[in-house]
Amino acid sequence: MKSWILAVSLLITNMAMGQTIADGLHLIDRDQPSRAKQVFEGLVAASPTGENYYYLGYYHLSRRDWSAAEDAFKKGLAADPKNYLNQVGLATIKVGQNKVNDAKVDFDRILSETKYKNGDVIHRIAEAYEMFYKLGRDPEFNANNNDPAEAIRLIDLMLEKTKKGPNAEQMIVRGDAFLIKNDGGNAVSSYEQALMQDPRNVKAKVKIGTVFLRGKNYRETQSRYKEAIDLDSNYAPAHKRYGEYLIVGSQYKNASRYFRKYLEKAEATPEVTLETAKLLFLSQDYEGAMKYTDEADKKGVKDNDIFRMRGYSNVEMKNYQQGIDNLEGMVRSGVKPYFMDDLYFGKGYQGLGKDSVALTYLERAAPLDTNNNVYNIIHDIRYKQKRYNDAANAALKGIEWKQKKNQAIGSGDYFKAAMDYYFVSAYTAVTDTVNRPLIAMKADTLFAKAISINDKWPPFYLNRARNNSLIDYTKTKWLAIPFYEKFIDVVMKLREEKSTAYKEDKNHLFEAYKALGGYNLLIAKDEAKAKVYFTKALEIKTDDKEVNDYFNPAPAAAPKK
């Protein structure tokens, strides 16, 4: 028995000796948590030092398992009270729990006691100030869990105090801190310094790509992500990030392929499986999202987003009632509501044809949703209901939403609002000679903005002509004429270019030719032009009475005797 125990002890020691702290950190970074845990537990079993306990606790920090992390750090302190890393670990838990100010008191004490001479301590404190911040997460999640300025100060101070050159991981911490500050230039500079220390550091390459993606430099983004994948095709985060880049370019099918690769390369933990489901949802692979949501559920993941993913995916797959049932189950279970829930409740009820119920949810979601311009959906429902004034308000709010997001406002955005006001004016009583033309003038301003963006789209001119007929309520100013002329010009140019983008409607051309014929006959007194326009109108509608009367006037009445 003693021989057997000795053999097992030697086996554990030999296994641990074959793996290092760096190996465990490497596995954490590659989304291989179970293997990382085995490494750190093996190191502690073989040699229960303060340092090994710290890195076991560090693993638990990466899983946000505060209780297990605290247990490891306390054991590390007991094993080696002089090793300050475990004190750093205990304070780091506070940062992860959104109590960065409380942690700072502990960190400052540790730095003072170590006289700023322990490089590992300074490095891990600096990292603590940025490691829990998640790009793209809501402000509530990131509130009080970071201090990037302090992280940068400490890394720089460490380099000054220790008189040692930086290593790659320290420069990555510095780059991450600058990224939190939205300082892309200094973030890239730090990551490039990491690559100078370690040219094969695939993590640094991926992070540079992420900076370029945030800066909308898509060519560099793609280049850096591809470099990372070429360097190490098994590095799971590179596939995930590349998929996110493809989503920005609306390459949804290709994005889905990379997200599935991510799950192949990463450890398929319940959490990673659910995260992949969310990524597949973003890439519009709703069936894949449902599949992996179900797998995550079977694996026992504890996440309220299980309800959401099923609800959202079912709505997108047009299983509207099922999606609503999933979301209602979430509400009944007491899950804290999120604005996206209202969006998908709204979409679900809209799919069921319950527009009034849908609007209740959509109007609640619209001001909070920074990812989706919900005002467009509200507009379309209001337009369908012929509530044109409400539709116009939604269209204008949709434009404001784009302005706040620094998104380009298209000609169609203005045209939509212009048409809404045009209909409001058209349905206003003719006898209301104040409001009817005033509303039409609002529409005219919006038509003009649409044309300023795209002056080659005929419907803009045709409808602006019609709208100006409403402004010209006395029917004496012929305000529509310039726009009918421009409408015909643009149609003819597109015809010459053999454009297939615009489908001609002969009724629209007839309307313009007849209006121009009448203007030239009655106002411009240009009989030749009038005849040309009326001739073209007659070619389209041979039975139009007014045009026929022009060509075949009734004989003058015989004089009375």
Cα atoms found within 13 Å of the Cα of residue 33, Cβ hemisphere only: 14
| Gap between the Cα atoms of 268 and 304, Å rounded | 19
Looking at the predicted structure, is the pLDDT value of residue 2 above 80?
A: no
Query: 147, 141, 138, 21: which is closest to 91 by C-alpha?
Result: 147
pLDDT at 560: 64
Residues in the chain: 561
Give the N- to C-terminal CA distance of the chain in Å, as an integer. Answer: 144
Q: Which amino acid is at 311?
A: G
| Gap between the Cα atoms of 350 and 136, Å rounded | 28
DSSP state of 354: -
Instruction: Give 487's contacts (C-beta < 8 A, 6+ positions apart).
Output: 458, 461, 462, 465, 508, 512
Looking at the predicted structure, is the pLDDT value of residue 131 above 80?
A: yes
Confidence class for position 14, pLDDT limits 50, 70, 90: very low
Looking at the predicted structure, is the pLDDT value of residue 553 above 80?
A: yes
Confidence class for position 4, pLDDT limits 50, 70, 90: very low
User: Contact at 8 Å (CB) between 468 and 479?
Assistant: yes
Buried b (16+ CB within 10 A) or exposed e, 464-498: bbbbbbbbbbeeeebbbbebbbbbbebbeebeeee
pLDDT at 108: 97
Q: Which amino acid is at 395?
A: A
User: Contact at 8 Å (CB) between 280 and 316?
Assistant: no
Q: Find the angle CA(349)-CA(354)-CA(355) to the nearest 5 degrees.
A: 95
Looking at the predicted structure, is the pLDDT value of residue 558 above 70?
A: no
517 C-beta neighbours (distance < 10 Å), count: 23
Please provide residue 59's backbone torsions phi and psi, each rounded to the nearest 5 degrees: -55, -45
Q: What is the pLDDT of residues 193-252, one digit of tens each?
A: 999 999 999 999 999 999 999 999 999 999 999 999 999 999 999 999 999 999 988 899
Taken in order 508, 512, 513, 517, is the CA torsion positive or negative?
Answer: positive
Looking at the predicted structure, is the pLDDT value of residue 11 above 90?
A: no
pLDDT at 137: 80
Query: 424, 512, 510, 508: which is closest to 470 by C-alpha?
Result: 424
Mean pLDDT of 52-67: 96
Q: What is the pLDDT of residues 412-469, one digit of tens each?
A: 999 999 999 999 999 999 999 999 999 999 999 999 999 999 999 999 999 999 999 9
pLDDT at 559: 65
Write the Ramachandran bin of 81: left for phi over 0, alpha for psi from -120 to 50, otherwise beta: alpha
Question: Does residue 454 sit in helix, strand or coil?
Answer: coil
247 C-beta neighbours (distance < 10 Å), count: 18
pLDDT at 6: 41
Q: Give the helix ranges, DSSP H, for 333-410.
A: 339-351, 355-365, 374-384, 388-404
Cα atoms found within 13 Å of the Cα of residue 167, Cβ hemisphere only: 5
Confidence class for position 28, pLDDT limits 50, 70, 90: very high
Element (H, E) at 216: none
| Gap between the Cα atoms of 72 and 9, Å rounded | 21
Q: Which amino acid is at 253?
A: K
Q: Find the angle CA(257)-CA(261)-CA(264) to the nearest 5 degrees.
A: 145
Confidence class for position 16, pLDDT limits 50, 70, 90: very low
| Gap between the Cα atoms of 447 and 416, Å rounded | 9
pLDDT at 557: 60
Gyration radius from the chain CA atoms:
34
Mean pLDDT of 96-116: 96
| Gap between the Cα atoms of 146 and 142, Å rounded | 7
pLDDT at 554: 77
Looking at the predicted structure, is the pLDDT value of residue 371 above 90?
A: no
Mean pLDDT of 464-487: 96
Q: What is the pLDDT of residues 148-187, one digit of tens each?
A: 999 999 999 998 887 777 899 999 999 999 999 999 999 9
Query: 319, 376, 374: which is closest to 348 by C-alpha?
Result: 319
In the chain, what's the furthest Cα-to-Cα distance?
145
pLDDT at 330: 92
Confidence class for position 491, pLDDT limits 50, 70, 90: very high
| Gap between the Cα atoms of 3 and 535, Å rounded | 112
Looking at the predicted structure, is the pLDDT value of residue 326 above 70?
A: yes
